[in-house]
Structure 1
Amino acid sequence: MTFNKNLPEAWQEHWQASGFSEPSMIQQKSFQPLKEKENVLGISPTGSGKTLAYVLPLLLNVEKDQGSQLLILAPSQELAVQISQVVRDWATLLQLKTQTLIGGANVGRQIEKLKKKPEILVGTPGRVMELIKTKKIKSHLLKTIVMDEVDQLFHEKELNLTKQILASAPTKFQLVFYSATADRVAEEAQKLTDQLTIIDVTGEDQSGGVVKHYFMALSPRKKSDYLRSLAYTPDFRAMVFFNQVADLGSVEEKLIYEGLAVAGLASDQNKTLRKLAIDQFAKNRAVMLLTTDIAARGLDFNAIPFVVNAEVPLSEESYIHRAGRVGRMGASGFVITFVNDATKRDYQRLMKKIELPFQEIFLYDGAIHLTRKEKSLIEEKTVSSNMTVKKEQATKTLPTKKTAKPKNRPKNTKNKGARRKPSKPE
């Protein structure tokens, strides 16, 4: 049977209404093992549809009105909220309830909603563990636990919380991991379960679009100037990444002062401000979303053509996930990294390790150009044009000798400054 024929009729209609065509490689290969309750590690490139790859088969195993059975863990509040939206779209069609559990939100309201016994929980490890300790989440009912962006959840701080959550679950449950990178993930995942089915489609997946990688050399003081100029180039819309929140805030203030529609998303904001920034960008009310690596994973916006690194990312992993915001599900995209004299070699070393081709680009004359030659030609024309204008202006201001009046001067001199009408053709 094909992928679509395995779905309920309501889902088949929703699949078509959502504009989906053929399922991606990770979606096809994940469906049956997850439906049969196997422990699975799924690895596929960013933008290949990993969320639906595990959501659809796992929802089919959830029983209505039987308490919280499916728990999905995410490393950030933003990703948890976005996963919840995806889950809710499909779960509602099966009359299943979904509850989001994240830090920064009102815990009292979350506890009240848990009393309605939602079948699916989506949250961050900290808040989920807090609710398990206070016995607000009945962890003994859990049948499946999913770790999305699991390489982040395996970082030391998050891993301890994740292990505590797993320890609170029943002795037998399905364990599911999904990630865009395989480094260390398989090794750590196998420590948590005896039997693990690994589905790695990194080499086979063709769902990604063409992504081109460029760098732009400029002074660190010119970041806001270049971002402002980029904002006015044709079809520009971008996620702009910073390494430090302080740098993000400084540039954001300058761009807003200059009247640009930008939104800032940072870790030091509360839940309301984060949601506002995401909504502004998602609804095209902001031409740029200024952020840090907090938004490099999982967040999905429709057809973003550009990612801009306001400085060279600190790691290969960071670059890969930032770049993964473009080129999703067949769309093309561009990644531009700002470099200066001190960071250009760092960028070149980084790209060599990742094995991605890159090229320098130039910004001038209201557009992005691929060669310096074009820039030189325009600069020469501009200089030449300016010199001509200045020469003409200088000539006009030079004192001139009085000359004799022309003999054939028109007799009518009442309106000396008026332009003469052209004579009619004979």
Structure 2
Amino acid sequence: MKDAVTLFGDIALSKKTAAAITAMGFEEPSPIQSQTIPLVLAGNDVLGQAQTGTGKTAAFGIPIMERITEAKQIQALVLTPTRELAIQVSEELAKIGKFKRIKTLPIYGGQAIERQIRSLKLGVQVIVGTPGRLLDHIRRHTIKLDNVRILVIDEADEMLDMGFIDDIQSILQHVPSERQTLLFSATMPSEIMALANKYMKDRVTVTISKEQLTVPLIDQIYYETRDKLDGLCRVLDSETVGLVIIFCRTKKGVDDLVASLSTRGYISDGLHGDLSQAQRDRVMKKFRDGKLDILIATDVAARGLDIEHITHVINYDIPQDPESYVHRIGRTGRAGKKGVAMTFIQPREYRQLKLIEKEIRTRILRRQLPSPADILERQSEIIKNQLTQTITRGGLDAYSSIVADLATDYDPIDLAAAALKLFQEGYKEQAVIEKQELQFGNTGAEPGMVRLFINAGRAQRIQPQDIVRTIAEEADIQGSIIGLINIYEKFTFVEVPEGVAERVLSVMNKNTIKGHRVNIEPAKGR
């Protein structure tokens, strides 16, 4: 590679790709990336056995962006089992290829096909799609795969479970035989091996084995919120904490959170791969000496840290795999002392939390964020002491005149309470902050509810109690809030409150009900 002048671990990459993955927060390759990327760059077919969350999207995405050109033709095809994964993979590939002007397009059912056709006519180099919709485009002659150089089959065992193997073989008839094939699967059943044997040439197998995960005996809880910074500040204000480590996924995330917390009066500093050894040593000395309450770090920067008396580990960004979660929370609860691990998630991340729970075989308890009233109650004694000391020190003349001016119109107690509220919560321009909730539109449900479609029904012997039990357990909600359920021969409609609908969608899609794997999506309005 002529322009490969930047190293990602030991892997030489072009400047543009290296800049893109640096902007994404990658510090060093994960095991599957370090093994797979050189093989793909060398032109090998690769059969990869790896679980979700090991970084396999970048393992094939980085070499794809290195090997294809800016020519406006489809040069790489990625097959995924679901539209959610197609969107997710497409977004990550777009980030990797953004400086090389590589256009990536997700193709999936449920989106207007005319919109996809318009995007295809503008010219794309990478298609990420589900088998059914891809076949539809192939039959319409709106997608031609004659120039595909790299084919990726992602989560092949999921494809098998969902009955897509025949569709995949049909698609492969339209892809040039002289191509590079990459197949990734968490498990390797005989049908997947048969597919690999038939369509891959001189393949190299990469296996990322999962280590046995053991979790320290510490309290593990999570908070679900759309505004993680606000939620974090509420927790810090209401909890009795000693030394705290907060984990972010990227270097930029660390820097942004340090800035945000510092402006709010928290004594914090950051640790990540861009710091020199001298800077790193300086931050760590402050933390060990107690001159720093909060250390904010990436996984790579925190590797090998052994600090006593850490009371809380906080996952500001949920880790991408269970191993990272265990390594993070293991920083607390040492030498028999009590520790607390907290994780902040947004609704779309609930599925990743359940994956971590499953792998570590430990329940992570849901907890409601403290309210301003909870914080005030917890800190009332602190506030009283601070007020008493402030009065004793004096120097209040400038503020006394403000109070005197307002006291003619307002009760002095209300003025004092307003001053305390301003001190605690800061000034808010708007009394009501609009919620940036996912808009489901008209799904045909009652007001305040969202109607969901599930592709299983009486033919699978599914009953209402099966729906209620599974959703309640998986989404961690009360079964009593689940609304109307209509079960038909091959599909089911169920209504859930709008506030939990995104979480239900996240955790239930590709899940199983009574042993049957299901897809779930918002229903179309009646």
Listed one character per residue, the Cα deviations across residues 232-283 of structure 1 (whole Å, up to 9, x for unaligned) are: 4679xxxxxx997955568679859869xxxxxxx978xxx9xxx9xx88xx
Counterpart residue type for residue 168 of structure 2: T
Counterpart residue type for residue 28 of structure 2: E
Q: Do the aligned partners of 2:153 and 2:183 also contact (CA within 8 Å) in 1?
A: yes
Report matched runs for 1:82-93 at 5 Å.
82-93=88-99
Find the partner of 1:212 among 342, 352, 360.
Answer: 360
Q: Do the aligned partners of 1:150 and 1:179 also contact (CA within 8 Å) in 2?
A: yes
Q: Which residue of 2 aligns with 1:19?
A: 25
Report matched runs for 1:27-42 at 5 Å.
27-42=33-48
Report matched runs for 1:376-395 at 5 Å.
none
The CA deviation at 1:18 is 2.8
Q: Do the aligned partners of 1:69 and 1:144 also contact (CA within 8 Å) in 2?
A: yes
- RMSD value, Cα: 4.1
Q: Which residue of 2 aligns with 1:105?
A: 111
Distance 1:194 1:164 in 2: 19
Find the partner of 1:96 among 83, 89, 102.
Answer: 102
* SS in structure 2 of the partner of residue 182 of structure 1: coil
Listed one character per residue, the Cα deviations across residues 164-221 of structure 1 (whole Å, up to 9, x for unaligned) are: 1001112311111012223333343112234221111216799723353147xxxxxx
Residue 204 to residue 291, structure 1, CA distance change in 2 (3 Å): closer
Distance 1:212 1:205 in 2: 9
Report matched runs for 1:298-377 at 5 Å.
314=515
Distance 2:368 2:196 in 1: 45
Residue 205 to residue 22, structure 1, CA distance change in 2 (3 Å): farther
Q: Do the aligned partners of 1:42 and 1:178 also contact (CA within 8 Å) in 2?
A: yes
Report matched runs for 1:107-146 at 5 Å.
107-146=113-152
Q: Do the aligned partners of 2:70 and 2:125 also contact (CA within 8 Å) in 1?
A: yes
Residue 231 to residue 67, structure 1, CA distance change in 2 (3 Å): same
Report matched runs for 1:139-288 at 5 Å.
139-155=145-161, 157-184=163-190, 185-202=192-209, 208-209=323-324, 210=326, 211-214=359-362, 231-232=366-367, 247-248=466-467, 255=478, 288=503
The CA deviation at 1:118 is 0.2
* SS in structure 2 of the partner of residue 165 of structure 1: helix
Normalised by the length of structure 2, the TM-score is: 0.44
Q: Which residue of 1 aligns with 2:76?
A: 70
Counterpart residue type for residue 3 of structure 1: F
| Structure 1: tracts of 5 or more residues without a match | 216-226, 236-241, 260-266, 297-308, 319-426
Does 64-73 or 36-45 show the bigger shift? 36-45
Q: Aligned residue pairs: how many?
A: 267
Instruction: Using CA pairs under 8 Å that are at least 6 residues apart, name the structure with larger relative contact order, 1 or 2.
Output: 1
Q: Which residue of 1 aligns with 2:8?
A: 3
Residue 47 to residue 268, structure 1, CA distance change in 2 (3 Å): farther
| Structure 2: tracts of 5 or more residues without a match | 1-5, 214-320, 327-358, 371-453, 457-461, 483-490, 518-526
Q: Do the aligned partners of 2:120 and 2:143 also contact (CA within 8 Å) in 1?
A: yes
Counterpart residue type for residue 198 of structure 1: T
Residue 256 to residue 156, structure 1, CA distance change in 2 (3 Å): closer
Listed one character per residue, the Cα deviations across residues 378-399 of structure 1 (whole Å, up to 9, x for unaligned) are: xxxxxxxxxxxxxxxxxxxxxx
Q: Which residue of 2 aligns with 1:349?
A: none
Distance 2:127 2:51 in 1: 25
Residue 248 to residue 158, structure 1, CA distance change in 2 (3 Å): same
Distance 1:295 1:190 in 2: 27
How many percent of aligned residue pairs carry the same amino acid?
Answer: 25
Residue 291 to residue 156, structure 1, CA distance change in 2 (3 Å): closer
Does 15-24 or 143-152 show the bigger shift? 15-24
Q: Do the aligned partners of 1:24 and 1:205 also contact (CA within 8 Å) in 2?
A: no
The CA deviation at 1:36 is 2.2
Distance 2:140 2:52 in 1: 36
Q: Do the aligned partners of 1:100 and 1:121 also contact (CA within 8 Å) in 2?
A: yes
The CA deviation at 1:143 is 1.4
Structure with larger Rg: 1
Distance 1:8 1:190 in 2: 33
Find the partner of 2:509 among 290, 294, 301.
Answer: 294
Residue 71 to residue 180, structure 1, CA distance change in 2 (3 Å): same
Residue 21 to residue 197, structure 1, CA distance change in 2 (3 Å): same
* SS in structure 2 of the partner of residue 30 of structure 1: helix
Residue 141 to residue 25, structure 1, CA distance change in 2 (3 Å): same
**Which runs of at least 4 in structure 1 moved beyond 4 Å after TM superposition?**
203-207, 242-259, 290-293
